[in-house]
Amino acid sequence: MAASILAVDDSPSMRKMVSFTLTSAGYDVVTANDGVEALEIAKTSPDLRLVLTDVNMPNMDGISLVKHLRELRDYKFKPILILTTESSREKKLQGKQAGATGWIVKPFDPEQLINTLRRVLD
Amino acid sequence: MSAQSAQLAENTLQGEDGTDQYLTFILDGEDYGVDILRVQEIKGWEGATPMPNMPEFILGIINLRGTVVPVIDLRKFFKMKSASFDQTTVVIVVKIQDEEHAERTMGMVVDAVSEVHNIDKSDLRAAPDFGGAIDMNAIEGLATINDQMIIMLDIDHLMNSGVLQMLDDSQPTT
Amino acid sequence: MSIDLSEFHDIFFEECTEGLSVMEEGLLTLDKGADVEEINAIFRAAHSIKGGSASFGFTAISGFTHVMETLLDEMRDGRREVTREIVDLLLESVDVLRDMVTAAREEDESENQRTAEVQAKLERVLAGQAEAEPEAEAPAAAGAGSDSAASPAEAAPETEEPVQDADGTPAAAAGWKISFAPHESLLRSGNDPARIFRELERLGRLEVASDSADLPLFNAITPENSYLRWDLTLYGDIAEADIRELFSWVEDECDLTLTPFSAVEAVPAESEPAAPAAAPAEAAAAPAPQAVPESVAPDAAPAEVAEVAAKPSPAAAETEPKAAPKPAAKKQASNKESGSIRVGIDKVDALINMVGELVITQSMLSQISSNLEEGTTKNFDKLLDGITQLERNTRELQESVLQIRMLPISFSFSRFPRLVRDLSKSMGKQIELKMTGEHTEVDKTVLEKIGDPLVHLVRNSLDHGIETPDVRREKGKPETGVLELCAYHEGGDIIIQVKDDGAGLSRERILGKAVEKGLVSENEDLSDERVYNLIFMPGFSTADKISDVSGRGVGMDVVRRNVRDLGGNVTINNNAGGAGSTVTIRLPLTLAILDGQLVRIGQETFIVSLVSIVESLQMKREMINSITGQSELYRVRDEYIPIIRVNRLFGTREGTEDLLDGLLVVVESDGQRVGLFVDDLLGQQQVVIKSLETNFKQIQGISGATILGDGTVALIMDVPGLIQKHFESCKRADSGRAAAA
């Protein structure tokens, strides 16, 4: 079975683009609009293999999402990548402290994103 | 290969040969044809709701499974002598396209439909201008089948430049 | 694998449009005081547009949004005061951005002068901040930079910064030698040296040399591990912090050393084959004296900065008394985004059509069942029950489906705060805009078509209605005028009103103008209402001077035409017991369904909208009058109303000719009453409106068709169109007789 990835972004076009990129690489993709929705999905689907999240989102931002995910038993050690236009050192450190595995700066190159995911997942 | 796909392949081949299928029908003893791909359905005449201030050749509108479709009397439009409608009187429902590629569904009442013929487009001959009521541009050409002449209609031209345009020109009618 | 992203462009553009309205709306509320939630929403919208445009390769848009975002970021952090000037500039930027998005959508690649101008303005504002702040805080807090999140305590000078001494004097650097040795685990955490290198290349020319000395024997290699180390040379005067920032994610998973080389030192580097002479020249040309104070602060004590950022910084609160709590501290969910899906309108319309079909089938079944004789079928009662239930379900289904096309009128109202703000500014008037009932839902088509008429009405009120502050003061009114936009349901209709407390309508002026234009004759006795509504006549304008705001008297008639196209009507009146006037637009709840009265003329059934019917009556001979033997009038109480013989007007020979044999249906449109002469009244029912234009064309006096329970088609009368047609044909008959005489 293909690995399932949870992609979180408040922008519909980004969500589409990311899920298109990932599905064309053979992954199953579940999407969420914001941290709150993502957390709900994560709680009910312990089988997801990886979370890919934006930072700036309404209701719950990506960094808080990472923190909350790390508190879930099933997500303690799963890879959580951040995909954002944000590139400040300050934010990255926040992300790292929250427990994110990696930080990818948008705009992303679809192929490179897939390579990264493969490396993290395999 | 199943029988169905074999037939499909054959049809495609025919298409490549430039052969098209035409539905032919009768109007005051004359044979006419329309491209069968434009024909949506054929139904019996059940009357129509007349519309106000319309020329005589517009019979009215009918209910075609929830869509409101105008119906014209092709005999009257061609200024042929009119006939009373009977059991064989049918409405040929066609799809037409205007210049902007907007699609319209319209019906035309004819005396009776006859059959479907394969006709090679290159076999069509240009129609001489017979100075009749028919706009020459509405005729795609003339074909001969079993020594019978069939007048092939350009349905888009007939309905757009013919029927609809004529209505625009005649407005307002009193 | 190559991935084509162009198919997502449309979604992106739509998103931009949404984001831009969020920004505009938000900015307008900032006029009334800064609200952190609101600034946050604006920031997020800008941020999304920036991210999307960068991802889809619209670099001009992402570049421009980046500057806006930076400014907004300062605003939300409380580092910049929210002033009217800044809001104005940001609103202007929204306009520019909207144009840029339109240009991108239309693949118009021409340069726009305004873009550059506004971007320069934004940059000047940003630069002003960067220059002004260190001056104010130096020398005590030198190095604290402009990041207010950093209090002096964390701003301790970074000891690892050899190129910068405490007071920020930089050493002229020609470039950096970077030694980068990732730990084995680096790749596993999703990092990619190549990506870091790509980002480094954006800072300056980069040379990459890899050292594979640590590479194990081939069979010992684990592909997920990284064994290589890199020696990089980055040319240019680049702040160390900028470089470190790119490595910040991996700094605890690698060994990283940065060594600057100066222009002088760089000279020997020439001997390296890959370093051409251009490097020192470049460096010499850019001595770059600035200290880059901003980057120092986050670099100084990263861990603390991150922590402090979560709570309001006392320093910031001091300098910026208006600054609200940090956004991170206020994490209340602003549930503005409700779950929704985007579907094509054609799908919705197909669904509506199918439900319409179902309604017809259902009413057909009801009709058949009502004709069934009791006991003819075994389960007669059950059948009737089933049909009753079907009727109920069908109606509910129909209502829900029609609901899909309904959108809140706020989509249309949302443009007005901006419009009123801009116009009142340019006209030197003070106007407060009040909006109520923005959540009233209307059909999507109504929403699309009502926008322009509303804009016109609002402009008209601003221009001709509300007076200048001076005039208002003289009249003893408050200087600030009030313009009110409201929407609500009334019966089966939607009412939209544009109200102002301005000068109101002048009966004399309007009447004078109308007589002058030949719209009415001088000695006509007209009610106030009729007079006021003359302004909707084509070619009417009472403005003493033509202004560029409300145009040249083209407009009010267009407003009426648009409203009529939607099956509604529009009236204007002076406010009772107060100043100003009110325009009332009345629209049907939905364009797909109509409450109809079925009438018979000869063999044919027609439908008249129930809303327009005043009463129906049987005529008495003594009340029928005729003028010049042509026009027939009927006296209803004190009013003479024209009789329209619908059969004659429609050119059919059907229907009764004797007025006493039929019925008169009195209808009203735009204050004008007429009587429609028909043979008989049938039932009343809701009908599904089908456009004649889909397959045919528009017909004067007919607004559409519908399919009745028995499957036949009936035409729906268009009352305003009929009235117009009636008067036209009267005029023609008149001139025909004049010619004959």
- For C79-121, write each residue's pLDDT tens digit: 888 888 888 899 999 999 998 998 888 887 777 788 888 888 8
Task: Inspect the interface and report whether the beta carbons of C700 and B61 lie closer than 8 Å.
Answer: no
Residues C424 and C572 in one domain: yes
* B66 → closest Cβ in C356, C697, C732: C356
| C635 and C562 together in one domain | no
Q: What is the pLDDT of residue C312?
A: 39
Show Cβ contacts of residue B102 under 8 Å, excluding neighbours closer than 6 positions. Answer: none
Shared domain for C577 and C462, answered yes or no, is: yes
In this complex, the residue of C354, C713, C729 whose CB is nearest that of residue B68 is C713
Tokens standing for residue B17:
């040969």
Q: Above 0.95 for ipTM, yes or no?
A: no
Owner of token pair 């169109």: C721
Q: What's the DSSP call for residue C250?
A: G
For A16, the closest of C11, C245, C334 (CB atoms) is C11
DSSP H/E element including C17: helix C9-30
- Within a domain: C163: no
Predicted confidence band of residue C223 (pLDDT cuts 50, 70, 90)? low
Which residues, including other chains, have CB under 8 Å from residue C320's CB and lie 6 or more apart? Answer: C78, C79, C80, C81, C148
Same domain, C552 and C456: yes
Which candidate from C43, C51, C333 shows the least CB-CB separation from A106? C51
For residue C667, the domain's CATH number is: 2.40.50.180
Contact in structure between C644 and C723 (CB atoms under 8 Å): yes
Give, as one character, the DSSP assignment of residue C489: E
Residue C155 lies in a domain: no
Does residue B63 carry a pLDDT above 50? yes
Shortest distance, CA B49 to any CA of chain C (angstroms): 6
Closest Cβ–Cβ partner in A12, A59, A79 for C190: A79
Q: Kindly report, residue by residue over C667-692, the tens digit of the pLDDT.
A: 988 778 999 999 999 988 878 788 88
Q: Which residue of C has its CA nearest to B174?
A: C651
Q: Does the beta-carbon distance from B67 to C694 stay under 8 Å?
A: yes
Where residue B18 falls among pLDDT bands split at 50, 70, 90?
low
Distance from C-alpha of C298 to C-alpha of C150, rounded to nearest angstrom: 8
Q: What pLDDT is attached to residue B11? A: 43
C to B contact (≥3 Cβ pairs closer than 8 Å): yes
pLDDT digits (tens, 9 = 90+) for C159-200: 444 444 444 444 455 788 888 887 776 766 666 777 778 778
Compute the nearest-CA separation of B141 from chain C (Å). 27
CB-based touch B/A (3+ pairs, under 8 A): no
In a domain, C298, yes or no: no
* Residue in B with minimal Cα distance to C696: B70
DSSP annotation of C170: B
Total number of domains in chain C: 5
- List CB contacts (< 8 A) between C249 and chain A: 92, 95-96, 102-103
Same domain, C371 and C430: no
- What the block records as the tokens of C508 is 């004399």
CATH architecture of A4-121: 3-Layer(aba) Sandwich (3.40)
> Which residue is closest to B107 within chain C, CA to CA?
C695
pLDDT at C266 exceeding the cut of 60: no
Please state at what angle helix C240-247 crosses helix C193-203, rounded to 10 degrees: 160
Q: Report the CATH number that the domain containing residue C482 is assigned in CATH.
A: 3.30.565.10
Same domain, C582 and C599: no
How confident is the model at residue B135, as a pLDDT? 72
In a domain, C300, yes or no: no
Residue C433: per-residue pLDDT: 92
Provide the number of structural domains found in chain B.
Answer: 1
Which residue is closest to C729 within chain B, CA to CA? B174
Q: Test B66 with C715 for CB contact under 8 angstroms.
A: no
The pLDDT value recorded for residue C548 is 45
**Residue B138's domain spans which residues?**
21-170
Partner residue facing B70 (CB), from C353, C652, C696 = C696
Residues of chain C contacting residue B166, judged by C-beta atoms under 8 Å apart: none
- Does residue B129 form part of some domain? yes
The answer to whether residues C627 and C720 belong to one domain is yes
CATH at B48: 2.40.50.180
Burial C554-579, CB ≥16 within 10 A → b, else e: ebbbebbebbbebbbbbbbebeeeeb
- Parent domain of C37: 6-137
Instruction: Please check the confidence at residue C552 and state whether its pLDDT lies above 60.
Output: no
Which residue of A lies nearest to C341 if distances are taken between CA atoms? A12
Q: Is C274's pLDDT higher than 70?
A: no
Task: Give me the pLDDT at residue C143, please.
Answer: 41
B70 touches chain C (CB under 8 A): yes
A17-31, A49-63, C314-328, C465-479: which range is least confident on average?
A: C314-328
Long-range contacts formed by C535-541: CB under 8 A, 24+ apart: C535/C505, C535/C510, C535/C572, C536/C560, C536/C570, C536/C572, C536/C670, C540/C513, C540/C514, C541/C513
C510 and C617, same domain (yes or no): no
Separation between Cα atoms, residue C363 and residue C50, nearest integer Å: 54
Cβ atoms within 10 Å of B131's Cβ, excluding its own: 7
Structure token digits, residue C571 = 């009236």
Per-residue pLDDT band at B122 (split at 50, 70, 90): confident
Confidence at residue A36, expressed as pLDDT on a 0 to 100 scale: 92
Q: Rounded to 10 degrees, what is the CA torsion of B2, B8, B10, B14?
A: 180
Least confident of C165-174, C571-580, C589-598: C165-174
Q: Name chain C contacts of B52, Cβ cutoff 8 Å.
A: 649-652, 699, 701-702, 715
Q: Which residue has the higher pLDDT, C333 or B129?
A: B129
Q: Kindly identify which residue of chain B lies nearest to residue C706, measuring between CA atoms.
A: B68
- Report CB contact under 8 Å: A116, C192: yes
Test the B interface: residue of C697, C717, C726, C734 with most B CBs within 10 Å:
C697
Q: What is the CATH number of the domain that holds C60?
A: 1.20.120.160
CA distance C377 to chain B (A): 29
Q: Per mean pLDDT, which range of C124-128, C308-312, C364-368, C494-498 is the poorest?
A: C308-312
- Distance (Å, whole) CA C343 – CA C362: 28
Q: Are strands B39-44 and B58-64 parallel, antiparallel or unpaired?
A: unpaired
pLDDT of C572 over the 80 cut:
yes
User: Does residue C556 sit in helix, strand or coil?
Assistant: helix
* Residue C626 forms contact with B (CB below 8 Å): no
C306 touches chain B (CB under 8 A): no
C641 and C712 fall within a common domain: yes
Distance (Å) from the alpha carbon of A56 to chain C's nearest alpha carbon = 7
> For residue C311, which residues of chain A lie inside 8 Å, CB to CB?
none
- Regarding whether C441 and C532 lie in a shared domain, the answer is yes
Reported as type and span, the H/E element at residue C722 is helix C719-740
Residue B101 lies in a domain: yes
C702 and C562, same domain (yes or no) = no
Compare all CA atoms of chain A with the CA of C147 and give the residue at the minimum distance.
A90
Q: Which amino acid is at B94?
A: V
* Chain C adjacent subunits, 3+ CB pairs under 8 A: A, B
Q: Which residues of C touch B160 (CB under 8 A)?
A: none
Beta bridge partners of A51: A6, A80
Domain-by-domain residue ranges, chain A? Answer: 4-121
C45 and C190 together in one domain: no
* Mean pLDDT calculated for residue range C402-431: 86
pLDDT mean over C697-720? 88
CB-based contacts of C595, cutoff 8 Å, min separation 6? C492, C609, C610, C611, C684, C686
Q: What is the enclosing helix (H) or strand (E) of A29?
A: strand A28-32
Please name the member of C701, C713, C729 whose beta carbon is closest to the beta carbon of B61. Answer: C713
CA atoms within 13 A on the CB side of C689: 23
From chain A, pick out residues whose CB is under 8 angstroms from the CB of C3.
Answer: 20-21, 24, 110-111
Q: Which residue of C has its CA nearest to A84?
A: C51
C529 touches chain B (CB under 8 A): no
Is residue C486 domain-resident? Answer: yes
Closest CA–CA distance from residue A59 to any residue of chain C (Å): 5
Sign of the dihedral through C-alpha C83, C87, C88, C90? positive
Q: What are phi and psi of C82, to 5 degrees?
A: -85, 105
| Position C491 pLDDT exceeds 70 | no
